[in-house]
Structure 1
Amino acid sequence: MKKLLPFVFLLLTGHAHFGQTILENNPPSLKWRQINTPNFRVLFPKGFEDQGQRVANTLEHIHAEEARSMGATPRKISVILQNQSSISNGFVSVLPRRSEFYAMPPQDYNFIGNNDWLDMLMSHEYRHIVQYQHAKRGFNRLFYYLFGATTFAGMAQAAAPPWFWEGDAVATETAFTPTGRGKIPYFGLVFKTNLLEGREFNYHKQALRSYKHNIPNEYVLGYYMISYLRKRTNDPEIWEKITKRSWSVPFIPFAFSNAIKKESGLYVTELYREMANDFQQEWQKQQASLTLTPFERVNPRNSSAYTDYLYPQVLEDGSVLAMKQGIGDIEQFVLLKDGKEKHVFTPGFVNDAGMLSSVGQKIVWNEYGFSPRWAVKNYSLVKTYDRDTKQRKVIGSRHERYASASLSPDASKIVTIRTNTQYQTQMVVLDASTGSILKEFPNAENHFFSMPRWSDDGKVIAVLENKPLGKVITLFDYSAGSVLQGFVVPQQENVGHPVLVGDYVLFNSPVSGIDNIYAIQRSTGQRYQVTSSKYGAYNPSLSKDGKTIFYNDQTRDGLDVVKAPFDPATWRPYKKEGSPVEFYSHLVEQEGDPGLFRNVPQQTLPVTKYSKLRGLINPYTWGVNVETDLTEATVGIVSRDILSTLSLSAGYAFDINERTGAWRAQASYQGWLPIIDVTASIADRSVDEGRITYGKVVSGDTVAVTDNLTFDWNEQTIEAGLRIPLNLTNSRFSTNLTFGNHVGYTSVTDFTNSIDGGGRIITSRLPQFFFRDYIDHGSLFYNHFSFAGYRLQKLSRRDINARWGQRVFIDAYNTATTLDVPGMGRRRFGDYTGKQFSFYGLLYFPGLVKHHSLWGYWAFQSTELTRANAKTGEGLDSYMFRNQIPLPRGQSVSRFEEFYSMSANYTLPVWYPDIAIGPLVNIQRLRANLFFDYGFGQSPTYRTSQTYTSTGIEAKLDINILRFLPQFDIGVRYAQGLSPSVSKFEVLVGTFNF
């Protein structure tokens, strides 16, 4: 469904221990119910029964119709209704297999259209369920049975690009619902603008995105690709045939493009070019008949980077407040006046309702609030900012679900929309100072309210969705709490953003096929067209003297704020002249049931309790799996319950670097405030320490000999502990803290080295070598405390690092050889002793130019070392934990009792090439990093110290491989050691960025 917003990483909080992520779940106090039907198990929290019944009935009703053109009949699946979240979203996953609907409806009419939110979710997400079922064929089916859902999902995603998955679901949603996104011009606005402005781009850029230009996401590209080929072939099942071929042999490179060629005669790049050309010509015809309304731009355009200036609000002094955002800018409020722009304030993670409100010095908007522990429990808050006092404030409770907010003319009251956890919507008025509720407008019929706004005389205007009538622009009397007047628009007309101006109601509508601003005269009922825009006009606002209208107008580089005289005499009376050009009618025709959601049965289905305990064990992956960093292959089984409380895994892991194996089991229970982790393993270990040079006595003389040193041993480990992750985000900075404490026991046997066959101390040669970071024959009992925290400003697409931010990591290890056990006295547990404390902190600052980053770290590590004596045995039981801090790059650094490390870095983008080397590699960005590293180590026990300094440069490419959307980074590093003097060249292989 809708992309999970830039703050999705907040929900995956923190630092995972032993690779275990923090799952997204609900508080344990939430009680769950279920409805079982032949094809679905619908889970929902207690109290959400009405919507559970509706969803269960609807899913059964659409089951066959929505699957027909994909030729698959999904087996029974669990659908989870999440009513504790304020995020409007939904998804389908096979890890484990389920679908989740986030039931808070969005306010933005350009997203939801005229649809009921849950209906829209069911139409879109059920199509994903069908897709996954259809993908289980040929070799994909074999991969599933051999390796489980993880491999199956990976192969299914590899054999069909993301734009197919989302585009096909949007096409289905468009065909079956009143106003799916394919019927909303705003959905394809950027794609249309790019084409008509000569920015056709190539397929790779459209499918894989860009840092240079604003490229619509996979939903948009996918919809147009899916829709066009269905129209071109007049075959509703054309994509079923294509994916049937590609999903049958998913391991063959470019199987998807080859399948399109087989079915249509075009490779995917050719299909894109033909589709883009066809839509370009249709849109050019549409524009040829337009007589555009003149206007004057208000905002500056100092950069070619795509930037929107949204939701203009005209202030008393004639300046305009707007929300600025783009590929190079995070959301921020700016003041526009005399062709200049002034930064006002940067909000947090905005719940964008498609509107903004400002009166006097105050600004009001909606922003997400987060539960510190439970990722699926979050809120939508009303926030204000005072430009005079520079104070921001949460209005009302921090545990509410408000969306849309508007200030009264005297800024003393705020009207907003509240949606409770029973899917009921109500318009309420808050005191702008105290947050107390002053008025609740009645809504016994549970109409959907959206986008309320005050008039100058203290009335409230809003859009409500009346099921029999469609959308009604409604005027309310605040004092009486009653309806004054309603303006009914045609049932499927997707109107929004109403503004009352004297005798006129201004609003947006796409009725002509292009979004424009319209007006209804209250006294006569006459409708007028106020603007005629080339691409789209939105969000009207009137100057205080009533002489100038300000609004948004789409351009090649983003939405501008523009102004024009407010003169009703120049408006054209609206007259419906036939139907606009529709690019979706063939989809509706091919599916053949546009009223599918209007005839849903109303059965009362049995409701039963859902037992979390019965569903805890839920295997979804088995067989062989390879880690994404290609360092480990595992044969085993993975389980996770569908409510994401218990994660289990067990199996045999082969370490590709060491070429050794281990039996391993892990459990992580995350249903309580502290996360409980348990890990156990039995392993063969082998580590290559490289070549060492030592003195060997030959015929009475000492000669230098170089041999390769390896250690081999058997190891048994068990570790258990607690973690507490906390999400403390409440501003533009994402803020997370994770505390953890784990206790572990490791036992080692059969420890040998390849030099003299002994253990970790090599005494038969000169000089003597002692390797403290290994356990010889014996056991280690340890305690590990960890703390990780970060506070990072949110990123724009072009940002490499946060402009401002901090990260902190603390690790403390302690060992014990004996412990006092109650009732048992002092007991021996371990043979080795050791302590280590490490601190690692990073700071991020803005660079000299936008998207440049100045950053650095300071680290300290203290390790307990005891002088070892091979003859007396003193110090042989000491153990040194692995290094936890970064070291100077390009240097071979010894271990010390105390080590200080610092670094200064300057990171910058160098080039946005957007170069595709055929279908093999797509290069999006070249970035560089200049660094200077410093390290100082000392060991008082051994009376040694050493200073290390180095400087150098790193260059990295952000690339896509084989047309896969996830980005991969690869690069090189040249480091010049200053002290000691040494140079080093390295190849840097990064990670996939999803």
Structure 2
Amino acid sequence: MDTFAQIFGNDQYPPSVDWRQINTENFQLIYPSAFEDRAQKMASDLELLRLRVSQTLGKKPRKISIVLQNQTVESNGNVQLAPRRSEFYTTPPQQSDFQDWLNNLAIHELRHVVQFDKLTGYLRAPFFEQLALAIYGVTLPAWFFEGDAVLTETKLSNAGRGRLPSWEMPFRTNLLYGKKYGYQKDYLGSLRDVTPGFYELGYFMTLQLESEHDPAIIDSLMSRMAKLPIRPYNFSNSLKKFTGYTTRQWHEKTREALAQKWKEQLAELTPIDYTEFPNRQSSRPESWLLPQALPDGRLIALHQSVYNVPAIVILDSVSRQQTVVKTGRQTEPNFAYAAGKIVWDELRRHGRYGKRTYNVINLYDLNTQSYKQLTHRSRYFSPALRPDGRQLAAVAVEEDNTVSLVLLDSQTGRLVSRFPSPKNIMLQTPAFDESGSRVIATAISQQGAAIVELDIPTAAYRFLLEWQSQQIERPIYTDGKVVFKAHYHGIDNLYELNAETGTVTQLTHARYGAFNPSFDQASGHIWFNNYQVDGYRISHVKPENSQASHFKPPTRLENTLPHNDTVQIETRPSTPYSGLKKLINFHSLSVDNGNFENIGQINPGIYWLSDDLLNTAQIRLGYIYDGDIRSSEYLASVNYQRFFPKFSLEYRNRGQVSAARVNFPGGDQQVIGLRWRENAATVRMNVPLVFYRLNHVFTTGLSAATSYTRRYDLSEPQFRDRFIDRIDFPMHYQFYFNHNVRQSLLDLAPRWGQHLSITYRHFPFDGRIAGEHLALRTAFYFPGIWRNHSLLARFNYQQGNGNYRMVNDIPMVSGYDQLRPVPVDNTLLVSYRFPIAYPDWAVGPLAYIKRFKGGFFADFQNVRSGNDLSPRTFGFEFRSDMNLLRYYLPNFDIGVKLVYANEAGTSKRVFATYGIAYSY
């Protein structure tokens, strides 16, 4: 669950969704009509959970709107202000803890609601929600508010991520391996090493607070901060007051306590260091997931690396690696092999409406080396091939969270059979037996995790392993028994279940964690992932050779809280939710326009912001003072994004300045400054589209815009006869098409990419004004000499006449504003960029530098056949990726470009330009 998710996103839901709402005393639930039954249950659950999650902070949150988002196949959630709402992504994941997904999600996200109101609850709509969000984000470090939420989800259930050894494993492995990183590296992450991340770090630092002090310390911290929210270094100051430690010191204390605890835990076990495969190939994190044996003895696995995008690869006995196919985004890493075929699922999104996503099944035939997307607009997960390769099984989760196992034809993707899950329990990662007549899967409910088996001929389910307080993953058949991953002894390992006797045998004794078993019938080996400090390696074990320990698995403990299915469900009135009636929702006064995606588009002023709860409409009322011309500007804008095209309407009343040249008798000339005001109204239509295919991303779209401008209050009336007092509906069109391959973590740009944009402007409705302008912008990305290097070539062309004769609408050469002005017909901009170092340097509390990078560039202007092809400017740039002031977001890219002007007559032949960019 991610509170950063979509705070700055602006995707829409399809207009076909029929929205309804339930209003309780403390919640407004907004949900699609297909989710009616579960929404009624959620309304009861939320009222109960609200009291529990707020108890330790002494603050009952005020009413909030919750959108139950069932249009996506991803599993996530967020809480935000400006506007005040929470979004629950209702589709359960294929890898989770051992409880009902929505129960866990509700506890976690409601804790964030309590945190918001505890710290800034007195700042409310219609004027101060953005201010409250800013105080929350600036005051609380991300590790604290997420760590507190994970701690709450763990305390208020019998599951939660705090109980999962797999979740703490990267941090535990680092410390046991002797890699004790500093506070900023553990918190803000690294591009060269595995670090715990702020969720895991935050959980343990918050848990340490409650363990050494009283659980009420969280309330004390936030109460003190809320009394004086503008106190410098408010959190660190308060933490030191109550504990005597700074944030950095508390991290060190927590780290040392955990290292001692995990060393003692490991001493009580007898870990085995298994042979690892393949050999270490780089100094960066690298993993080979889900290893499976091929008939010829080679292994097939899903390769993940910071250097490369994920790919399914084949490994031979000497660690040579052959890439089979590069994959696209997945909700969880998975693939399956049988009979010369590979299947895996991938995420897709609706071309226009980003809130609707799908999970499709792909197939690759090793014999014909051909790829096929089997399903389209589907919601299928974790496919597994039948041994003969003719059919596959997958988990289907419908929009109302109805769960089934389905059989699909592996040639056509056609649905063959559907087997509804018993009592609609969640199913995960199915696998066939050797005969292809039975399927095994993990089952998840509020009672815990279990293993179930489907007998296909009779369509009957049975439990092979009853409910456990365990994270049970990827059960498989092995010679009449079942092997699965669990953590009965505190570390993730593989266990073997004898379904007849109910006896469980521990098969592996991995030092850090064992996962993803697969059975090789020919050799009798069980291949598995053996976690190491730099990623997942491959190991194997034979059941008869393992140091086995037999035991009866413990029965499921009684919940300290009632099961969700025992909560009294009150059927509440459900009414249609009309988005049209809720379009106007003013929530904040702001000093910016709410556009955080591009620093160049932030226009300081005073704005009143309105955003509806479904990302359909945005309204902005604003005032700006332009100090350069000493003039005020007033604006009002509306964006409406429900339909296939997006529409926007904007009105501005603003001052303008220009100059006119006056000819006097005798040939004298004088330049006179002109000032006026104008009313300008602009309407735009935009159709943005996004498509995916494997590791390729395609974006395309078109837009059209027109405006009407009326000018008045000319400062020099003698120029009225030459003054254009209105501009009637000039037209502006744009078409663009972009194709990029997916980037790895260390790539500075796509290895391959092609971008094309064409714009055209003219005056078809105003006979008093003439002119047209055509602009072509292109960009081509190529791989560099070494990995993660990038070569970019951009050719741009423009042609204008009339009133557009002097307009520049293409990228200019570097340092253009410091060169002598000349008309620009085209530019060719070539740059080569490369990483230099990954220092992970903490410059005190000011900056944490993750990467240095450099580049060379040569910029050409007005390239023509026969002309001198020397660049107009060229030079070198040096940049760095960093976090500032210990904030997790945004990520900053700051640098300097040294430009050499390759022409005579410039005031400076060498000069520097500086740049800053950021991303979320």
TM-score bracket for this pair, using the shorter chain length: over 0.9
Q: Which of 242, 259, 265 is the aligned partner of 1:280?
A: 259
Q: Does 1:665 align with 2:636?
A: yes
Contact kept, 8 Å, 2:99 with 2:446, in 1: the verdict is no
Give the 5 Å matches for 1:86-165. 86-108=73-95, 112-136=96-120, 141=122, 148-165=128-145
Q: Does 1:606 align with 2:568?
A: no
The 1:777/1:43 distance shift into structure 2, 3 A limit, reads closer
Q: Match of 1:814?
A: 762
Pairing partner for 1:511 from 475, 480, 488 = 488
Structure 1 pair 676–967 and aligned structure 2 pair: CA distance change class (3 A): same
Residue 716 of structure 1 aligns to a residue whose secondary structure is strand
Question: Aligned in 2, Cα 1:929/1:253: closer, same or farther, shift over 3 Å?
Answer: farther
Higher mean C-alpha deviation, range 76-85 or range 434-443: 434-443
Which residue identity is paired with 1:793?
V
Q: Is the 8 A contact 1:836 1:881 kept in 2?
A: no
**In 1, distance between residues paired with 2:273 and 2:237?**
48
CA distance in 2, matches of 1:778, 1:429: 66
What does residue 908 of structure 1 align with? 834
Please tell me the residue identity of whatever aligns with 1:900: N
SS of 1:174's partner is helix
Counterparts of 2:446 and 2:39 in 1: how far apart (Å)?
A: 22
Find the partner of 2:300 among 302, 321, 334.
321
Q: CA deviation at 1:287?
A: 1.0
Q: How far is the alpha carbon of 1:490 from its aligned partner?
A: 5.1
Instruction: Give the distance between the partners of 2:592 and 2:127, measured in 1 at CA.
Output: 7
Change in Cα spacing, 1:514 to 1:809, as seen in structure 2 (3 Å) is same
Change (3 A) 1:945 1:355: closer
Give the C-alpha shift of residue 632 in structure 1.
2.8
Task: For 1:887, give the aligned amino acid.
Answer: M
Distance 1:460 1:683 in 2: 72
Residue of structure 2 in register with 1:785 after alignment? 733
Q: Counterpart of 1:221?
A: 201
Does residue 48 of the first structure (1) align with residue 25 of the second (2)? no
Report Cα offsets for 1:231-255 as digits up to 9, x if no partner: 111x222122212333444444421
* Larger mean Cα displacement after TM superposition, 783-792 or 402-411: 783-792
Deviation at 1:978, TM superposition (A): 2.1
CA distance, structure 2, for counterparts of residue 667 and residue 375 of structure 1: 20
Superposed displacement of residue 315, structure 1: 1.0
Whether the aligned pair in 2 keeps the contact of 1:40 and 1:76 (CA below 8 Å) is yes
Query: Could you tell me how far apart the structure 2 residues matched to 1:656 and 1:962 are?
Result: 30
Q: Give the secondary-structure state (helix, strand or coil) at the position aligned to 2:310.
A: strand
**What's the secondary structure of 1:956's corresponding residue?**
strand
Which of 364, 367, 372 aligns to 1:393? It is 372
Asked if residue 845 in structure 1 is aligned to residue 782 in structure 2, the reply is: yes
Report the CA distance shift for 1:287/1:462 in structure 2 as closer, same or farther (over 3 A): same
Quick check: 1:437 aligned with 2:363? no
Match of 2:882 in 1: 959
In the alignment, what sits opposite 2:323? Answer: 343
SS in 1 for 2:46: helix
Change (3 A) 1:655 1:849: farther
Structure 1 pair 757–219 and aligned structure 2 pair: CA distance change class (3 A): farther
2:125–2:586 Cα contact (<8 Å) kept: no
Aligned to 1:771: none
In structure 1, what is the equivalent of residue 606 of structure 2? Answer: 635
Instruction: Specify the code of the residue in structure 2 equivalent to 1:420.
Output: E
Q: Is the 8 A contact 1:623 1:635 kept in 2?
A: yes
Take 2:230 and 2:289, find their aligned partners in 1: how far apart are those partners? 45
> How far does the alpha carbon of each residue in 1:294-336 deviate from its partner, in whole angstroms, 9 at most, with x for none?
4222223211111121111111111111111133332211111
Structure 2 residue 705 is matched with structure 1 residue 742: yes
Q: Residue 88 of structure 2 aligns to a residue in which SS?
A: strand
Post-superposition offset of 1:736: 1.4
* Cα RMSD, aligned residues only: 3.2
**Separation in structure 2 between the aligned mates of residue 615 and residue 375 of structure 1, nearest angstrom:** 21
Supply the AA of the counterpart residue of 1:408: R
Distance 1:503 1:886, change over 3 A: same
**Partners of 1:231 and 1:525 in 2: how far apart?**
38
Shift of 1:493: 2.0
User: In 2, are the aligned partners of 1:949 and 1:980 still within 8 Å (CA)?
Assistant: no
Give the secondary structure class of the aligned counterpart of 2:76: strand
Question: What is the rounded CA distance, in whole Å, between the counterparts of 1:616 and 1:695 in structure 2?
Answer: 52
| Structure 1 Cα separation of the partners of residues 435 and 673 of structure 2 | 84
Residues in 1 aligned to 2:112 and 2:527: alpha-carbon distance in whole angstroms: 41
For 1:730 and 1:355, locate their aligned partners in 2 and report how far apart those are by CA, in whole Å. Answer: 17
Answering whether residue 494 of structure 2 is matched by residue 492 of structure 1, we say: no
The alpha carbon displacement at 1:212 in A equals 2.1
Counterparts of 1:103-502 in structure 2, within 5 Å, are 103-108=90-95, 112-136=96-120, 141=122, 148-233=128-213, 235-338=214-317, 339-352=319-332, 355-396=334-375, 398-443=376-421, 445-465=423-443, 467=445, 470-483=448-461, 486-489=463-466, 491-502=468-479
**CA 1:657–1:181: 2 relative to 1, 3 Å:** farther
State how far apart, in whole Å, the 1-side matches of 2:411 and 2:351 are: 26
Q: Aligned pair in 2 of structure 1 residues 655, 239: CA closer, same or farther (>3 Å)?
A: farther
String of CA shifts for 1:412-471, please: whole Å, max 9, x gaps.
110001011111100011110111222222435212211100121213333353758643
Alignment CA distance shift 1:947-1:748 (3 Å):
farther
**Pick aligned residue for 1:794 from 742, 746, 751:** 742
Contact 1:837 1:861 in 2 (8 A): yes
State the distance in 2 between where 1:527 and 1:934 align: 71
Give the structure 1 partner of residue 546 of structure 2.
Answer: 570
TM-score (norm 1): 0.86
Q: Which residue matches 2:615? A: 644
The verdict on how the C-alpha distance between 1:659 and 1:402 changes in structure 2, with shifts beyond 3 A counting, is: farther
Shift of 1:662: 0.9
Superposition pairs of residues 52-67 of structure 1, within 5 angstroms: 52-67=39-54
SS at match of 1:86: coil
**Cross-structure match for 1:17:** none
Answer yes or no: is the 8 Å Cα contact 2:773–2:804 preserved in 1. Answer: no
TM normalised by structure 2 equals 0.93
Deviation at 1:512, TM superposition (A): 1.0
How many Å separate the matches in 1 of 2:668 and 2:871? Answer: 31
**CA offset at residue 659 of structure 1?**
4.8
Quick one: structure 1 residues 265 and 786, their matched pair in 2 at CA, closer, same or farther if it must change by over 3 Å?
same
Which whole-Å CA distance do the structure 1 matches of 2:836 and 2:605 have between them? 39
**Unaligned 5+ runs, structure 2:** none
Contact 1:526-1:573 within 8 A present in 2 as well: no
Q: Could you tell me which amino acid in structure 2 is paired with residue 199 of structure 1?
A: K
- Higher mean displacement: 258-267 or 594-603: 594-603
- Asked if 1:716 corresponds to 2:683, the answer is no
Q: Structure 1: how far apart are the matches of 2:227 and 2:893?
A: 30
Unmatched runs of 5 consecutive residues or more in structure 1: 13-20, 580-584, 762-774, 820-828, 866-877, 939-943
Q: Report the 3-state secondary structure (helix = DSSP H, G, I; strand = E; otherwise coil) of the residue aligned with 1:545.
A: coil
From the superposition, tell whether residues 461 and 269 of structure 1 become closer, same or farther in structure 2 (CA, over 3 Å): same
2:157 and 2:560 in contact (8 A); partners too: no
1:316/1:544 contact within 8 Å kept: no
Identical aligned pairs, as a percentage?
28
Per the TM alignment, residue 340 of structure 1 is displaced from its structure 2 partner at its CA by 1.9
Deviations 1:635-691 (A, max 9, x none): 23111111111111112123465553211011111111111111110001347x9xx
CA contact (8 A) 1:315 1:544 kept: no
- Distance in structure 2 (CA, Å) of the matches to 1:539 and 1:804: 33
Q: How many pairs align?
A: 908
1:283 & 1:759 partners in 2: Cα distance? 83
Confirm or deny: 8 A CA contact 1:61 1:601 kept in the other structure: no
CA contact (8 A) 1:167 1:222 kept: yes
Letter in 2 for 1:210: S
Q: Does the 8 Å contact 1:469/1:488 carry over to 2?
A: no
Match of 2:26 in 1: 39
